[in-house]
């Protein structure tokens, strides 16, 4: 059955291919038609749980792309086709565990890297190869080779910082590792093509919402300049108030041809209009009065729009109090509360807010392994184990609700993590990570809160956790300076101090040589825009032999979790004492 279907497709492709020489009529060229057909098959397969259970269906869809590669080797769609087929075999391997599937995936990605080094997917493909060697094939030597190749041939690509970091963790350097024999400089014409491929294209939109807040991320492939403005409601035309973001020199991607329905109370939908000056206008139809903030993130490039219902000027006080009191306070009441505020007492404490829900964020996941230990253990795996244990303890001992930003080994974008916490109205946000340093002697526990900082070490660490460059971090500082990030900073500092203290205390009662490195401010993407006190814990150094050995043991993970939860408990107790003395 399957083979007959294939023969059928091959025959059609062949026929179309033969005709293409004399084709003079309008309509998509045959390669494009084949590609679109493969893509449609791919999307319907992805959405079909039943079909995904059978190996032959995976192979069937991948074959459609491979036939395009063989039938139209000169088509500009070939890199895309190789990448998609490579992904399919990679994902299939995760189910089948047949080495042949993984080998074939590596082969397809390798062909993309070798034959199309100028394509924007080449560096992503190479990263897949490196990840396969280290994570699935447990071959550090091959992984180092693949990473060194990536760093050397795609030094400016968006995955280069991550590759450099992984290579460093594995104890390799780009220069010290021998190039694979297939290493070739990309031909000149393909380098030029690469530059044109880096034009900004709005490829994808993601959104997260809760009744009073919406976050929208615009993924643009390349860095864009943007302008933000408002348009008032027009009753005659029946148009609602709108917010627009003009993305300079940017076009609309193939997948966003229709308006994007959001349909929450803050944003009803997102529309697009390509303008004569080459910019792309993104229009958000809004549900009512609101305030907004817009900031860019990189790796991958995206513009994040946060919209909050109500006026931000009365700031957190009004919002926080609005949740507790039956009626919204007047301006005078807000001013009085602000005046009464004393150091060490946060606005949310004054408003008498009880803590009901804690968001626990296990760092990294999926294609982002985080730091790698010398034994090949991944930060993402241990962070998840600790996070799950923390969640359990919070539910059992503190009787609070818990939201995990990820429950398995999959990728969640950084801006999605706080958005998940905001969506669920979490009252605290705790992100769990494992530290790494080039110097393998570095060890110990440290806890961070979001704030502006000039500290070199904090910037370096943030660059690492954000998978971006130190330069981006210092750029971000200027953007952040005008964000209302101060609203929870007192609570965040206190939470970080209590959690840090309790982790070190708990570990010391069971282990010798436990090093406490204290609390520090840092600019972590994951903490930006959190509407609750938020901290990031670097539990211990995966790059230090003693710390790594401990991190891998269930007992140490358990003690870390106990320390974290004891810190949260003390934070809540202090608050309750203030609320009911």
User: Rule CB under 5 A: which residues touch Zn ion?
Assistant: 363, 370, 433, 465
Q: Considering beta carbons, is residue 203 or 446 the nearer one to Zn ion?
A: 446
CA angle 173, 151, 473 (to 5 degrees): 95
What is the secondary structure of 342-401 as a DSSP string? -TT--HHHHTTPPP-EEEEEE--BTTB--SB-TTS-BHHHHHHHHHHHHHHHIIIII--E
Least distance (Å) between residue 280 CB and Zn ion:
34
Say how far apart CA 91 and CA 329 lie, in whole Å. 54
End-to-end CA distance of the chain: 76
Q: Which residue is nearest to Zn ion (CB)?
A: 433
Least distance (Å) between residue 122 CB and Zn ion:
26
* List of E strands, 421-580: 428-435, 445-450, 516-522, 534-541
Q: Considering beta carbons, is residue 71 or 370 the nearer one to Zn ion?
A: 370
Least distance (Å) between residue 353 CB and Zn ion:
30
Least distance (Å) between residue 522 CB and Zn ion:
12
Residue from 444, 572, 442, 552 nearest 508 by CA: 444
Q: Considering beta carbons, is residue 203 or 465 the nearer one to Zn ion?
A: 465
Least distance (Å) between residue 379 CB and Zn ion:
5
Q: Considering beta carbons, is residue 200 or 386 the nearer one to Zn ion?
A: 386
Q: Considering beta carbons, is residue 433 or 559 the nearer one to Zn ion?
A: 433
3-state DSSP assignment of residue 306: strand
Q: Considering beta carbons, is residue 361 or 490 the nearer one to Zn ion?
A: 361
Least distance (Å) between residue 464 CB and Zn ion:
7
Compute the CA torsion angle 475, 477, 479, 481 (nearest 10 deg): -160
Please report how many Cα atoms fall inside a 13 Å half-sphere around the Cα of residue 157, on the Cβ side: 27
Say how far apart CA 450 and CA 466 lie, in whole Å. 13
DSSP 15: H
Least distance (Å) between residue 410 CB and Zn ion:
16
Q: Considering beta carbons, is residue 262 or 371 the nearer one to Zn ion?
A: 371
3-state DSSP assignment of residue 172: coil
Q: Do residues 256 and 205 make contact, with C-beta atoms less than 8 angstroms apart?
A: yes
Q: Do residues 64 and 36 make contact, with C-beta atoms less than 8 angstroms apart?
A: no
Least distance (Å) between residue 380 CB and Zn ion:
8
Q: Considering beta carbons, is residue 101 or 465 the nearer one to Zn ion?
A: 465
């Amino acid at each position: 059955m399957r083979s007959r279907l294939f023969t059928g497709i091959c025959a059609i492709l062949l026929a179309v291919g033969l005709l293409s020489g004399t084709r003079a009529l309008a309509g998509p060229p045959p390669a494009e038609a084949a590609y679109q057909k493969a893509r449609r098959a791919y999307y319907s397969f992805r959405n079909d749980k039943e079909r995904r259970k059978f190996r032959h269906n995976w192979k069937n869809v991948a074959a459609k792309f491979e036939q395009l590669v063989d039938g139209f080797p000169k088509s500009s769609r070939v890199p895309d086709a190789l990448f998609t087929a490579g992904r399919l075999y990679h994902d299939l391997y995760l189910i089948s565990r047949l080495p042949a599937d993984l080998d074939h995936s590596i082969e397809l990605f390798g062909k993309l890297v070798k034959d199309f080094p100028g394509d924007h997917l080449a560096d992503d493909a190479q990263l897949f190869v490196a990840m396969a060697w280290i994570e699935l094939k447990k071959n550090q030597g091959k992984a180092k080779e693949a990473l060194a190749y990536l760093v050397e041939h795609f030094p400016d690509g968006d995955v280069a910082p991550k590759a450099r970091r992984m290579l460093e963790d594995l104890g390799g350097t780009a220069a010290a590792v021998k190039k694979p024999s297939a290493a070739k400089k990309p031909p000149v014409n393909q380098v030029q093509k690469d530059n044109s491929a880096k034009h900004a294209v709005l490829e994808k939109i993601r959104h997260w919402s809760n009744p009073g807040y919406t976050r929208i991320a615009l993924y643009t492939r390349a860095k864009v300049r943007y302008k933000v403005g408002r348009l008032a409601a027009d009753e005659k035309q029946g148009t609602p108030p709108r917010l627009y973001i003009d993305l300079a020199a940017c076009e609309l991607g193939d997948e966003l041809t229709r308006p994007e329905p959001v349909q929450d109370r803050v944003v009803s939908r997102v529309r697009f209009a390509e303008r004569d000056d080459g910019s792309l206008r993104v229009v958000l139809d809004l549900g009512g009065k609101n305030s907004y903030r817009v900031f860019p993130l990189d790796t991958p490039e995206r513009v994040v729009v946060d919209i909050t219902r109500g006026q931000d000027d009365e700031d957190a006080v009004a919002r926080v109090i609005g949740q507790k009191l039956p009626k919204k306070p007047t301006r005078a009441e807000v001013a009085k509360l602000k005046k009464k505020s004393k150091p060490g007492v946060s606005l949310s404490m004054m408003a008498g807010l009880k803590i009901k829900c804690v968001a626990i964020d296990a760092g990294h996941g999926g294609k982002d392994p985080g730091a790698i230990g010398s034994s090949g253990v991944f930060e993402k795996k241990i962070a998840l184990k600790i996070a799950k244990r923390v969640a359990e303890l919070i539910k059992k001992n503190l009787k609070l609700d818990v939201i995990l930003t990820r429950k398995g080994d999959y990728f969640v974008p950084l801006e999605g993590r706080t958005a998940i916490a905001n969506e669920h109205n979490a009252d605290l946000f705790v992100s769990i990570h494992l530290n790494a340093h080039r110097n393998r002697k570095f060890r110990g526990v440290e806890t961070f809160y979001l704030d502006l900082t000039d500290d070199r070490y904090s910037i370096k660490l943030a660059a690492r956790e954000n998978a971006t460059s130190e330069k981006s971090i210092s750029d971000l500082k200027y953007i952040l300076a005008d964000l209302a990030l101060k609203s929870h900073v007192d609570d965040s500092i206190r939470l970080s101090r209590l959690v840090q203290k309790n982790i070190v205390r708990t570990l010391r009662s069971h282990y010798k040589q436990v090093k406490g490195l204290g609390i520090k401010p840092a600019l972590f993407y994951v903490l930006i825009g959190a509407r609750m006190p938020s901290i990031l814990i670097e539990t211990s150094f995966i790059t230090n032999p003693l710390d790594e050995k401990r991190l891998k043991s269930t007992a140490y993970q358990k003690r870390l979790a106990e320390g974290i939860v004891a810190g949260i408990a003390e934070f809540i107790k202090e608050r309750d004492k203030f609320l009911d003395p």
